[in-house]
Structure 1
Amino acid sequence: MYKVLIIEDDPMIGDMISMYLGEEGFHVIRMETGQKGLEAVRQFAPDVILLDLMLPDMDGLQLCKQVRITSSVPIMIVSMKNKVVERVGALGAGADDYMSKPFSMHEMSARVHALIRRSHLYHKASEIKGVSGSAVKDGKPEAVDPMQGDMNKISLDLHTRSIIVQGQTVETTYSEFEIMKCFVNHPGRVYSREDLLHTVRGFDSYVTDRAIDVHIANLRKKIEDNPKEPRRIRTVWGVGYKFVY
């Protein structure tokens, strides 16, 4: 049974979501404050978090950032705020999806299922692939990153869903890791924003091209020596992005 943590102080909305997801077979708990929500992340170990941005004791974006320090659990923001700048800010803080209130319970459930499905697919993949992206082929380990082992190169750790940069582990959000996985597995290939949107969200979630730009900017800060003059994640003007070793 998958576990959902709802961090929402509005009892009516919180109870509606809890009841709907509970009837669909999820194990749901709800916390009304950010502090209790943080404690629940550690103790409850949810498969997905539904987070309101306006909480009585702390800003939801700050809570999202704190969760991201120690966890890559998918986070979906559920908020009355519906401006593009607010969506972009939430994605930049580490959120994986965003829904504006009021919303369809059916769509909300579909997005929760999609986030958990993608997350657990890659957790299952990590069970048959070794640390730093090693896989088994003909009984021998095979590296996902062809440049693995060089301290100056980039590799992926599928167990922790993090990036290894110059021998140092760099934490990523769920969406950042999915984008980086595409890049590392297909260096030199040009990905349009639409390609990356489908990779991160699937076809059933509402996002914008700007969301991909935010993720790319965050990744450049994490892997580039100079994010303002990126050498690895390059912009292909009029098309999208590509990764270069």
Structure 2
Amino acid sequence: MYKVLVIEDDAMIGDMVSMYLGEEGFQVIRHENGRDGLQAAGHFNPDIILLDLMLPDMDGLELCEQVRETSKVPIMIVSMKNKVIERVNALAVGADDYMCKPFSMHEMSARVHALIRRSKLYQTNHSQVKRPSVVAVSNTAVLLAEQAYESIVSLDQETRSMWVRGELIDTTYSEFEIMKCFVKNPGRVFSREDLLQTVRGFDSFVTDRAIDVHIANLRKKIEENPKEPKRIRTVWGVGYKFVL
């Protein structure tokens, strides 16, 4: 039985979500403030967190950021705020999905199932992954930089794993898809629209600004100095390119 933590101070919405997911076989607990929700995230060990942004005692984005410091649990924001910047800010601090109130319970349930399924697949693949011992190009792996070991960036498509300088680095689904485009086409300039098409269907945050956030996150993961990127470079007025 999968466990769902709902952090929502609106009693009507909280009860509806808890009842609906409970009837679908989930074990659900709900808290009405951030402090109690944060504690529950530690001891309840949920498979997913549904988080309201406007809580009585703390900002939901702050709570999301704190959870993400110690856990990879999927986090879905549920909020009245519907501006693009709110979605982008949620993505930047580690949220995986965003639903605006009011919403369909059926769609909410479908997204919960999808996020848990993706998370479990990711965990399974990473528990099986081993450090690559060779540099090769095949249907299941794209490995680059055969020379200096410290410059190796490798992607294993079968396990959806990224290695940077020999270290296994966690990526989101969209980050991996973007990096796969770069790795397969070094030197090619991708517009934001190109990259949007790459992640569309997997990412709820499909905006130009979201692509910039994904790029910023990837730079933090692969660049020695993200403020002066040497691998993922900006092509002003066009988009981005990956340089070996």
TM-score (norm. length: structure 1): 0.77
Aligned equivalent of 1:84: 84
Identity, % of aligned pairs? 64
Q: Which residue of 2 aligns with 1:207?
A: 206
Shift of 1:43: 1.1
Q: Distance in 2 between matches of 1:151 and 1:5?
A: 41
Length, aligned pairs only: 233
Find out whether 1:232 has 2:231 as its counterpart.
yes
In structure 2, what is the equivalent of residue 138 of structure 1? none
Distance 1:242 1:115 in 2: 29
Q: Do the aligned partners of 2:162 and 2:169 also contact (CA within 8 Å) in 1?
A: yes
Asked whether the 8 Å contact 2:144–2:152 carries over to 1, the reply is no
198, 201, 205: which is aligned to 2:200?
Answer: 198
Return 116-125 or 175-184, whichever deviates more. Answer: 175-184
Residue equivalent to 1:153:
152
**Further displaced range: 206-215 or 51-60:** 206-215
Q: Is the 8 A contact 1:196 1:212 kept in 2?
A: no
RMSD: 3.4
Aligned to 1:182: 180
The secondary structure found in structure 1 opposite 2:149 is: coil
1:19–1:84 CA distance, 2 compared to 1 (3 A): same
Q: Greater CA deviation, 92-101 or 230-239?
A: 230-239
Distance between the aligned counterparts of 1:62 and 1:127, measured in 2?
29
User: Is 1:132–1:155's contact at 8 Å kept on the other side of the alignment?
Assistant: no
Moved more, 215-224 or 75-84: 215-224
Secondary structure in 1 matching 2:122: helix
Note if contact 2:80-2:100 (Cα within 8 Å) is conserved in structure 1: yes
Map Cα deviations across residues 94-127 of structure 1 (whole Å, 9 max, x no partner): 1111111111111111111111121112222224
* Deviation at residue 72 of structure 1 after TM alignment: 1.5
Aligned partner of residue 200 in structure 2, secondary structure:
helix
Cα shift at 1:226? 4.1
Question: Mean alpha-carbon deviation: is it higher for 175-184 or for 41-50?
Answer: 175-184
Retained in 2: the 8 A contact 1:65–1:93? Answer: yes
Please tell me whether the aligned partners of residues 88 and 210 of structure 2 are also in contact (alpha carbons under 8 angstroms).
Answer: yes
The more displaced of 189-198 and 23-32 is 189-198
Q: How does 1:1-245 map to 2 (within 5 A)?
A: 1-128=1-128, 130-132=129-131, 145-147=143-145, 150-154=149-153, 165-166=164-165, 174-175=172-173, 178-179=176-177, 182=180, 186=184, 188=186, 192-198=194-200, 200-201=202-203, 205=204, 207-235=206-234, 241-245=240-244
Task: Output the TM-score relative to the length of structure 2.
Answer: 0.77
Deviates more, 1:14-23 or 1:188-197: 188-197
Which amino acid is 2:92 matched to? G
CA change 1:244–1:117 in 2 (3 A) is farther
